[in-house]
Homo-oligomer: A and B are copies of this chain.
Amino acid sequence: MTVSKAAEKSSEKPADAAKGRKDAGDVQAEALQLGELSEQLGYVLKRAQLKVFENFLRCMASLQLTPAQFSVLLLVEKNPGRNQTEIASTLGILRPNFVAMLDNLESRDLCARIRSTNDRRSHILVLTDKGKAVLSRAKKLVATKHEARLNDLLGQANREALIGMLSKIANEF
């Protein structure tokens, strides 16, 4: 397992990057054998995840939303009236790290912190009108450009099976 990020920029391309030379009459530099690596769950899982995130960022370039930011907007929309701690922990984000993330979204007027009247310690999170509009456009982009790609690649049935298995791993492994 390994494989770096490199989102947009070409950089490494794990699979066939290690060729070096191979133009005309060249003998050396056979492709390396991955061997058992290609059967390792963690390896292939990580590689797939990087590719998917990479594609996600490309699809969202016009909206400048990262996967994490998108997940926050989705969750806030689905769960109005929740505070930072609840939203963050549901996503597995630690509260300290969630602060800067919200600062970002709030500075872009995508969501807002509202002091709760019940508990004046907590900040209720809501989407702004702009946030709702952006999220709506984001959903469409994800559906048409991102998720649709899975269907093209695997087919509808396999796509659902894959999501199901990954969910099972995420919850029960």
B-contacting residues of A (Cβ < 8 Å)? 1-4, 6, 11-15, 17-18, 20, 32-53, 55-56, 67-68, 70-72, 74-75, 77-79, 82, 85-94, 97, 139, 142, 146-147, 149-150, 153-154, 158, 161-163, 165-173
Contacts and interface: CB of A to CB of B under 8 A. Distances in A.
A134 B173 CA distance: 25
Contacts of A78: 32-37
B2 A68 contact: yes
Secondary structure call for the A interface:
helix
20 contacts: A2-B68, A2-B92, A3-B92, A3-B93, A15-B90, A20-B86, A34-B75, A37-B75, A38-B167, A41-B150, A42-B52, A44-B166, A44-B170, A46-B53, A47-B92, A48-B169, A49-B49, A153-B168, A158-B161, A162-B162
